[in-house]
Amino acid sequence: MQVQVERRGRVSGFFGGIGRGLTWLRRWILNLLTLVILIALVSLMVRSCSEKEVVTIKDKTALVLDLKGSLVEEKSRPDSSLLSLASGDELNNEVQLRDLVAVLKAAAEDTHITRVLLKLDQFDGGGLASLREASAAVKRFQASGKTVVAWAPNYSQAQYFLAAHANEVWLDPAGGLLLDGLGGDNSYYAEALEKLGVKVHVVRTGPYKNMAEQFTDKAPSQATLESSAYLLDDLWSVVTNEIEQARELPQGKIMQLINDLPAPLEAAGGDLAKMSLDQGLVTGLKDIQQVREDFIKNGEADSEHNTFRQIGYEAYLASLAKPDTSGDGVGIIVAEGEIIDGEAPRQTIGGETTAALVRQARLDDTVKAIVLRVNSPGGAVFGSELIRRELAATREAGKPVVVSMGDVAASGGYWISTASDKIFADAATITGSIGVITLFPTFEGLMDKLGIHQGGYATTWLKSAGDLRKAPDPRFEKLMETYIHSTYQTFLGHVSKARKMPVEKVNEVAQGRVWTGQQALDRGLVDALGSLQDAVNAAKQLAKLPDGASVRYIENEESEYDWFLQKLMGTQLFADLQSSLPESLVPTVLQPELKQLQHETTRLQRLIKPEQPFNAVVHCLCEARL
């Protein structure tokens, strides 16, 4: 009887398991079908709305550039994402640089557009090189004889840099503007990690390769302070000089104003807006209603909407005719973000993904030259090398390769740039950082605190030499040092060959040190200062193409469905991460520190993998956002 009951229990359990599995499978299929139907419906709605919308631009129309989000080279999502309709402006948090340039160019030639309102209250800024390209586009629009007016309730430093190039710079009377410079303090976690029993080991090439310094030291090294001062002072001089020229202020006016504070503010009665007007930083104090009245007076009224006749940035962008990309021409490939091995989504450079784009361009007979737009602090060595090899193969196939550096083209970003015929950089580009580093933490102190010990047998010393639970074997450290220095020599060799410089000369400007574009030009690391358009023109000349030859972007064909799933998964993962440590348990003053630490460790986790014992990184933790 007991055996019979056991058998029945097993049979019942077996079929019960199948039943539960089928229930799970049914729910999964139903959820998937629901998701597909939802996507199809929203996609149809988007298509229907876009087909019905016809943009008609009347005379005396003002173009309102209500810029929202950060200035980027490439958007993180497909341009016509199906979720845009459902979530309104939530996803429209990026301004693609090429779109902004195209809109201003078209508006300059459009007789219906008479004026531009640069509305910047929701603009998050960007890198200095990108802001300079955007500012140059504003100046080219002004050259057509039309006026640009900038307005914001308060100006951040980045917003003001762009606004300063307008004909009129207006500020809300209750607002403010305060320029405060570049740089600042970083947090150093070595002592905190030491208290936890964690030690971070680093092998690097050169005193300026300071990517891991926040985890190994209690303060910045002298080399870091020296390099940072040389870089940031030059970038800040670019910022101040350009603002002073745009606003027709005396040279040195901005530094004088900052050094004289708080006296100028006291003279204005503590009113930041009045101080900004008194000092010539803005040309008028107006609230948004006064802005509307001025645009009605100098344009045309829109009585239906109780405002002035206008067209928004997104609507005007959508109305532009697609450029003709047929025939022989230049292909632009954007390399934006950190470089990782394998494949990667938008705003991250996957070694395989970007190499495939280069290969696609190389095998396309209509692409006669490539312009690689680099905006990257670097990353994985192998991913960088895959891209460099494909670019080198393109040149060997007889197609010119021209690099256009954006905000940052450092370390791995410079590694991939070496396989080119010509390199253009902006004066404010951050580049160089020619060096290699690896780092790995060990937790022997933490293990001791917890009373956890290790023991076992391995056939070789190397098998457990990289065990992060204990202090590293000295032979393993020597092994890593040898490997890192070998990789550094390879890096120097690529630069030496590309720049036609002796290796010893390259080493003098390498060792992990970063430079501005102007400083890099002075040291022979780039060929010229110029914009993306300058790089395109150079590529046409090298390929013997006419000036009117087509230009097209070569990008991954990521579907809206793929992006949606990535977005959904990323949101859930982030929610899980947040729920693991409620903010209520963390003192308010420490929350920014923990978020910064999480950001840094997440970045390192993408680059440093414990399962790969020989993990070299060509990465620069360098940026200078206004």
Task: Check residues 580 and 386 and name the one with the higher pLDDT.
Answer: 386
Residue 362: closest CA among 412, 400, 404, 414: 400
C-alpha distances in Å from residue 160, one per residue of 72, 150, 154, 279, 281: 18, 9, 9, 14, 9
User: What are the start-end ranges of the H helices in 197-285?
Assistant: 213-216, 222-246, 253-260, 263-267, 272-278
Q: Which residues lie below 8 Å from residue 148, measured CB to CB, with a gap of 6+? A: 115, 116, 118, 138, 141, 142, 165, 166, 167, 168
Is the model's pLDDT at 347 over the cut of 60?
A: yes
pLDDT bracket for residue 155 (50, 70, 90)? very high
Neighbour-count burial of 584, counting CB atoms closer than 10 A to its CB (0-12 exposed, 13-18 middle, 19+ buried): exposed
Is the model's pLDDT at 140 over the cut of 70?
A: yes
Structure confidence by residue, pLDDT tens digits, 5-23? 344 444 445 445 555 555 6
C-alpha distances in Å from residue 146, one per residue of 62, 117, 143, 373, 585: 11, 11, 7, 30, 55
Q: 75, 119, 199, 209: which is the annotated catalytic residue?
A: 209
Query: Which of the listed CATH numbers 3.40.50.2000, 3.40.50.300, 3.40.47.10, 3.90.226.10 matches domain 190-246+327-626?
Result: 3.90.226.10
Average pLDDT rounded to a whole number, residues 419-441? 94
Average pLDDT rounded to a whole number, residues 560-582? 45
Contact 416, 623 (CB under 8 A): no
Structure confidence by residue, pLDDT tens digits, 198-230? 988 888 888 888 878 888 899 999 999 999 999
What pLDDT is stored for residue 560 in this prediction? 45
Token pair belonging to 147: 């006026």
Most confident of 10-24, 319-333, 536-550: 536-550
Query: For helices 97-109 and 128-142, what crossing angle results, to 10°?
Result: 10
Q: Do domains 61-78+91-177+282-319 and 190-246+327-626 have the same CATH topology?
A: yes
422 is known as an active-site residue? no
Q: 135, 384, 411, 417: which is the annotated catalytic residue?
A: 411
Q: In what order do the strands lie in the sheet with 310-312?
A: 284-285, 168-171, 147-152, 113-119, 61-66, 310-312
Supply the pTM of this predicted model: 0.84
pLDDT bracket for residue 1 (50, 70, 90)? very low
Q: How far is the C-alpha of 82 from the C-alpha of 563, rounded, in Å?
A: 10
Q: How far is the C-alpha of 537 from the C-alpha of 331, rounded, in Å?
A: 12
Q: Across the strands, what pairs with 151?
A: 119, 170
Average pLDDT rounded to a whole number, residues 329-357? 93
Contact 107, 63 (CB under 8 A): yes
Q: Burial letters for 586-614: b for 16+ Cβ neighbours within 10 Å, e otherwise? A: eeeeeeeeeeebeebeebbebbbeeeeee
Query: For helices 222-246 and 128-142, what crossing angle results, to 10°?
Result: 10
- Domain boundaries of the chain, sorted by first residue: 61-78+91-177+282-319, 190-246+327-626
Mean pLDDT of the chain: 85
Average pLDDT rounded to a whole number, residues 443-447? 89
Q: How far is the C-alpha of 464 from the C-alpha of 456, rounded, in Å?
A: 9
Residue 355: closest CA among 390, 328, 323, 325: 390
What pLDDT is stored for residue 600 in this prediction? 58
Average pLDDT rounded to a whole number, residues 336-350? 91
195 is known as an active-site residue? no
Reduced 3-state DSSP string for 461-527? CCCCCCCCCCCCCHHHHHHHHHHHHHHHHHHHHHHHHHHCCCHHHHHHHCCCCEEEHHHHHHCCCCC
Is the model's pLDDT at 487 over the cut of 60?
A: yes
Reduced 3-state DSSP string for 135-195? HHHHHHHHCCCCEEEEEECCECHHHHHHHCCCCEEEECCCCCECCCCCCCCCCCCHHHHHH
What pLDDT is stored for residue 344 in this prediction? 87
Task: Check residues 583 and 314 and name the one with the higher pLDDT.
Answer: 314
Contact 117, 291 (CB under 8 A): yes
Task: Check residues 345 and 498 and name the one with the higher pLDDT.
Answer: 498
Count other Cβ atoms within 10 Å, centred on residue 626: 21
Is the model's pLDDT at 558 over the cut of 60?
A: no
Q: Which CATH number does 61-78+91-177+282-319 carry?
A: 3.90.226.10
Average pLDDT rounded to a whole number, residues 443-463? 89
Q: Among 53-57, 284-288, 388-392, whose mean pLDDT is lowest?
A: 53-57
Structure confidence by residue, pLDDT tens digits, 385-400? 999 999 999 999 999 9
DSSP H/E element including 78: none
What pLDDT is stored for residue 603 in this prediction? 57
What pLDDT is stored for residue 559 in this prediction? 45
Structure confidence by residue, pLDDT tens digits, 254-282? 999 999 999 999 999 999 999 999 999 99
Most confident of 71-80, 86-95, 451-460: 451-460
Is the model's pLDDT at 503 over the cut of 90?
A: yes
Count other Cβ atoms within 10 Å, centred on residue 579: 8
Cα four-point dihedral sign 420, 421, 424, 425: positive
Structure confidence by residue, pLDDT tens digits, 160-211? 999 999 999 999 999 999 999 999 888 898 898 889 899 888 888 888 888 7
Token pair belonging to 3: 């055996």
Q: Among 208-212, 495-499, 506-510, 588-592, whose mean pLDDT is lowest?
A: 588-592
Q: CA 465: distance to chain centroid?
A: 37
Residue 110: closest CA among 141, 137, 135, 84: 141
Q: Which residues lie below 8 Å from residue 471, measured CB to CB, with a gap of 6+? A: 199, 442, 444
Residue 422: closest CA among 582, 534, 333: 534
What pLDDT is stored for residue 576 in this prediction? 42
What pLDDT is stored for residue 211 in this prediction? 79
Contact 560, 39 (CB under 8 A): yes
Structure confidence by residue, pLDDT tens digits, 77-114? 765 544 444 444 444 589 999 999 999 999 999 999 99
Q: Examine residue 262 and say whether the peptide bond preceding it is cis (omega within 30 degrees of 0).
A: yes
Q: CA 454: distance to chain centroid?
A: 43
Average pLDDT rounded to a whole number, residues 460-480? 88
DSSP H/E element including 376: strand 367-376
